[in-house]
Amino acid sequence: MDPSTAAVAELISAMTPFDDLEQQHIEQTLDWLAATTDVYRRIPPATPSPHLVAYVVLVDPTERGLYLGRHRKSGLHLPMGGHLDPFEHPFAAARREAREELGIDASFDVVGQRPLLLTVTSTIGPTTGHVDVSLWFVARGERARRHELDPGEFDGGEWWDLDPHGLPDSDPHLGRFIRKLDTVLQPTTVR
């Protein structure tokens, strides 16, 4: 295993699964990482499949909100994020995506510099489907603040209640992300 793939495997091995599905996704991902070093998307939209993605979920833990953008290609309301560049560490990708898509130097002090959730998702694109292995990082936001999102990627964005049942069309794992986030937020932030 090359050093960059080993760093991703180490990061994932340290994760505590939220549920049986995340445990399955972690095991599946570790098996995949052990079998290949071809984990970074080289040719958009889908080569190779699977490939690594870093999500940056902007969360206001005090006001109980999360910020989602209306993603142009998928038609879904999604967290910011994107594919890792070759040999890029997932956290470095999360920081880069926050700068590129949100225009901020994000603070990751809500749960730290490790991903909160790992998901494996089959996507359907305009020409072909593929599998994203997504690492979900949590960035601190302020619900009162609006963000000018990258217009090449998003058609605006908005804050949503941190409620797994009141969400727009989004990533199929967003509700699970919110439920896991609620297990780690300080009791003083939960209303």
| 3-state class (DSSP) for residue 130 | strand
**Could you state, in order of their start, the residue ranges of all structural domains in the chain?**
3-186
C-alpha to C-alpha distances, 29 to 63, 82, 180, nearest whole angstrom: 34, 18, 19
Alpha-helical regions (H) of the chain? 3-13, 20-35, 90-97, 174-184
User: CA-CA distance, 158 to 108, in Å (whole number)?
Assistant: 20
User: CA-CA distance, 15 to 114, in Å (whole number)?
Assistant: 8
User: CA-CA distance, 99 to 14, in Å (whole number)?
Assistant: 26
Bond before 79 cis per omega within 30 degrees: no
Over its length of 191 residues, how does the chain's per-residue pLDDT go in tens digits? 889 999 999 999 999 999 999 999 999 999 999 998 888 887 777 777 888 999 999 999 999 999 999 999 889 999 999 999 999 999 999 999 999 999 999 999 999 999 999 999 988 766 667 889 999 999 999 999 989 898 989 999 999 999 888 899 999 999 999 999 999 986 644 44
pLDDT for position 70: 96
User: CA-CA distance, 162 to 174, in Å (whole number)?
Assistant: 10
Which homologous superfamily does the CATH classification assign to the domain defined by 3-186?
Nucleoside Triphosphate Pyrophosphohydrolase (3.90.79.10)
pLDDT for position 191: 46
117-124 and 65-71 strand pairing: unpaired
**Contact criterion met (CB below 8 Å) for 118 and 50:** no
**Contact criterion met (CB below 8 Å) for 181 and 141:** no
